[in-house]
Structure 1
Amino acid sequence: MKTNTFFHGLAAAAMLFSAAAAHAQSGDLKKFPKGATPEEIGQRIASRFVASPHPNFGRPVPPRVITYPETCTWYGALTFAKERNDKALLQQLAARFEPLLGARDTLIPIPDHVDYTVFGSVPLELYQQTKDPRYLAIGKRMADKQWGPPEGKRVTEASHRFYNKGYSWQTRLWIDDMFMITAVQSQATRATGARSYIDKAANEMVFYLDSLQKPNGLFYHSPDVPYFWGRGNGWMAAGMSELLRSVPKDNPNYPRIMAAYKTMMASLLKYQAEDGMWRQLIDDPQSWPETSCTGMFTFAMITGVKNGWLDAKTYGPAARKAWLKLITYINAENDITDVCEGTNAKNNHQYYLDRKRLTGDMHGQAPLLWCATALLRK
């Protein structure tokens, strides 16, 4: 009797182990355990955003203008509301914008830098969902300024040089730019139907690919900063994903961008930690697991699988594992932890390792919403 019980126990344990292994290897991006679904996580993070004042990079005073981490989170909340057909959330997000249409219009950034111009993606998304022409006017003006002649106090000699070569005068060759530029330009094409915006952004993307992508598929922060910084690469991964979702396939740069995207995704697979995370410095195993880059890479992989760019059997499990681990970093206040603080380009390895780990910073909140949206897209 004892022998039978022993073997039954072994059999049960083996079944449990087999089930756990199968679960870990699952590439299912549709069904998730209760508490881990994109609907639940997205609602938690979106509600947290709606209740939050305008952030100012951790400073105790309100910002002079809307900052780009807020822009990215706002955009993510709007796309989540769209996929959920959540009219109540859309109304809350539009209400957040309403003061900017009146007395608080000074909070709208002057579009003379990539970090400011990306704000245009928010009114352009609001326009697509509400058809209110006031949003279109603001968003289109910002997208147009990015490609117009150099203008404003931030203009440099390099601004004119890039503009004369057919690139945005806001070019600076930091990998961050390839979300800031492609997001607003992709949105301008989606909102207006004019492909000139995204065609220019695709040409700009190739310039950055040629300048910053290395043979292993990853990107230096800038030409003179030879480190594979997590979130910087995350901006690039997310930017290529946003661009590829809408750039016409007959665009001559489409094959080049798709090849660069796939090369990057293949490299990221090799550097993903066993638990699903990616690190502050991607190729440094001693570097700490970082949530904003993990969220951005997860978004890029989900988007690739959903659109058929990536093999679902290979990338589905990686994306699922990353999502399930990433959401364990969300605390009781619906703030994600271990977010790298805002980071300039610096040619110093230790500088990246020593960056502060923040909680609730919108650099980390935004990718959660992007992932939730991507998981809900058909």
Structure 2
Amino acid sequence: MPKCHSSSESRQEDEKQRNRAQKAIINLKKEVEELRKTSRDHENAAKKAEEDSVKKQQELDQALEEIMNWVPKAIINAHRKQDTYYRLLRKANLQIMKYQKQLNIPESTFWIDEADLITEQPQEEEVKDISLILAQELRKVKKAVETMTIQAARVKLHQETPIQGRASKDSCVVDVAEKIPSLKEGCETNPLCLTASPLEHPLLYPPDARDIEWFKPAFRFLNVDLSGPYTTLLSHWIELKRLNKWQNSGCLSNVNWPQELTTWIQYSRYDRKHIIICPGDIKQFSDTVWTWWSSLQPMWQKTGTDGRPLPVMICKDDWEPLDQCGTNGWLSILACIHWWGESLKTVKDEAEKQKKMGDWLLLIKDVSEMLEGLIRYKQKLI
């Protein structure tokens, strides 16, 4: 009997162990199922997060592309409008000087002081946004144009009041205000705009330079179709050469100038060495050209917070740094602009191309203004 009792207890113990084992297995299965469910939830969440991330990245890329396409165009348009005001101001300046000479009016009567046109430049910490800089410059120009209009009215009033030693109003020239185009005119109708009515390309070789040997290859090298403003700049350069009687003398400073110019000159320019600016080198080359151009400015030309020359307001008579003729003069500046313009044709990304072209056009605009000022100075000396 004791042995039978022991066997019964053993079976009961085994049964209990089996029950515990089955419960443990069931619990483990439940835990495994819960872990699998949790894992699936995590995978679904990760997949959804990845999809959301891709979608957000696409939206961000699209927004950046829109911004990159808009900003250069906005800057170019703002500078074109600003350019119109500056050119109107310069033309009005010439008219005022003309009437001052004709009417023998004291300079203090209607001449614009330099302080009225150029105020202190903002400190770098005050203005860092290009749009703010453009807005400030535009306000200055508007104020200057308003001042010129008032001064023109004074001239008219002075004409209508005969004084001893001057002609009557019937013999005077028409009022200055009638000669100034409306500020509402766009580039299509305003001949003072840099981009208005671009010259035909290619330019014809100037007949009075047919015997100038150094000028022939220079003209052939520069006379390419890059843009209307570039062609206009080239025509101004030809006019300066004509005023200098096609001389080949003088030299611009080579401090900070691009290494490409050194190579080009060492290989006798033109056909022996063809300079090519690769797309990846455009930024460095353009920065170097801007730095060199800024270093060539006369003492009276002011610079902005970015180190670049400000738009020309009033030209003085000290042109020594830029009044250089021949192959070592303005030809070097135009050669850099030529290489830069040619390199833009190789840029495939349209947004990047627009941005780089905007900077290129700004340089052409600034160089053109200074070149026009030098031409007027040379004309006064004739």
Give the TM-score normalised by structure 2. 0.28
Higher-Rg structure is 2
Give the TM-score normalised by structure 1. 0.28
